[in-house]
Structure 1
């Protein structure tokens, strides 16, 4: 009923709090499965994860900017959010609260996306259990491999893709 990538997103978001991985999983899914609209619900989720990543690292400006974009996009898809097993009213209350906390430069606190579909919740909890992670656990802000993940990854492919895009662009000019 739900895309596997969405389940994995939820497991990371509400489980191990690996927001960088949330972004990676859904970005790949969005690129492969949609018409790549920038106001897709998947982009809203991606931006939400990026905002949480920035907030945890103390980048309030980046967190605010991406959360505002996420809210704008997600608000366009309230019916889809409900079909994705989320409590829409609780979600938007939570997002408003997060935005206020970021604007006030309050310290990061873990949040849980409000999953209401019992089967989805059971599936996510089981996946967390299989990974040795507790659903709803607080973020381990001492874990450098999660908190500063973008600094630790191999960016060779990203750099190569950007260079190729530039070559193509220059060839078309």
Structure 2
């Protein structure tokens, strides 16, 4: 009933607290749909993870921006949030409270997304069991990789692809330059 990437997101969100990975999982899933069929509810969930990642790292401006945007999307797409088994009203309230905490200078703390549908709760518990994980764990604030993953991860494949694309563009540019000379 629920897409596997969504369940993986929830496990990463509530157990591993790897918000960067949450972002990666759902962004890949969201982008797998044709552009005109992409649902904004996924963007809202991605933004929640990114906002918490920023807050945990002390990037208050980034956290505030992402969580405010996520809150707007949750309000706008509350029916889609409900279809995903979450309590949209409770999620909106949770995000508003977190924004107030950030504005008041309070430090990061772990949160739980308000799952309300029995089917989602059962699927989430099954996903945790399948991965041999507990159902909830607080953030490990001493793990530098978890806290700074975007700067510490291996990006050689991404950089190689960027270089390849640059070479392709430069080759096309050189081809058009030589065409204009003749």
Matches for 1:38-57 after TM superposition, within 5 Å: 40-57=40-57
Aligned pairs, number: 173
The CA distance in 1 between the partners of 2:33 and 2:40, in whole Å, is 11
Unmatched 5+ stretches in structure 2: 177-182
Task: Report if the CA contact (8 A) 2:53-2:63 is conserved.
Answer: yes
1:33 is paired with a residue of what secondary structure? coil
Deviations 1:47-85 (A, max 9, x none): 110001011111111111111121122222100000000
The corresponding residue for 1:146 is 146
Deviations 1:78-130 (A, max 9, x none): 00000000011111110000111111221111000000112221221232234
Task: Report if the CA contact (8 A) 2:11-2:128 is conserved.
Answer: yes
The corresponding residue for 1:32 is 32
1:161 Cα deviation after fit: 3.8
TM-score (norm 1): 0.88
1:101 equivalent to 2:89? Answer no
The CA distance in 2 between the partners of 1:29 and 1:47, in whole Å, is 14
The CA distance in 1 between the partners of 2:55 and 2:40, in whole Å, is 23
The CA distance in 2 between the partners of 1:167 and 1:61, in whole Å, is 36
Matches for 1:65-84 after TM superposition, within 5 Å: 65-84=65-84
Task: Report if the CA contact (8 A) 1:30-1:36 is conserved.
Answer: no
Deviations 1:111-154 (A, max 9, x none): 00000112221221232234343222211111222122112211
Task: Report if the CA contact (8 A) 2:41-2:80 is conserved.
Answer: yes
The corresponding residue for 1:3 is 3
RCO higher in 1 or 2 (8 Å CA, sep ≥ 6)?
A: 1
TM-score (norm 2): 0.84
Unmatched 5+ stretches in structure 1: none
The corresponding residue for 2:131 is 131
2:32 is paired with a residue of what secondary structure? helix
